[in-house]
Structure 1
């Protein structure tokens, strides 16, 4: 038996024999499908193998998914990496030397000026001007 909405009451009513169904599709029972099992990172799923994770000195690592080796790292970049990876209790944003200290202080000064400007704007809008 087919059902449809009544135009008068807006409720679901049985369709009459003279009316055709809106969707003449036979219902199909849902098929049960087992969910896929969880596959943890195993050797056949991983693109990183133990040998390529830490290559031996002299061997070059390959870009993942290709047979192209990574380009060599320049000596200046290698020195910078050593400088920034030292454990010398200096924040990373100051490890670049005195120029980093100047840039940091300049940025902090700009933030304070901006906060003062915001406070001034809020005060101007909050307090009515005397006439």
Structure 2
């Protein structure tokens, strides 16, 4: 059996990133190392984690592509489900997220918007898909 456990985002400042996700999306802090170079948020079944770019460099000596608001987002996104997309988009952007697309209703009824976090990672804010 395989279980999806976590996603780790490589960021400049773990503490600032944790605080942003706590304040913008209401997640709670699960863990942070004494060195503040790795931290986790309780987000439900799967954890969102943050590692400092310095720590990531130790694990990946060949390097990696860094996320930045100056560049286009990676071809990956975090998806957060909420009942009020507009309200959550407003809250996130008031705390520093960058709006990519305003909330839009999809043909299947779901409402979807996109923002980028302080580090440039893409976040989809949406309602649940009704089956």
Give TM class, smaller chain: under 0.3
Higher helix share: 1
Question: TM (normalized to structure 2)?
Answer: 0.20
| Higher relative contact order, structure no. (Cα contacts within 8 Å, ≥ 6 residues apart) | 2
Higher strand share: 2
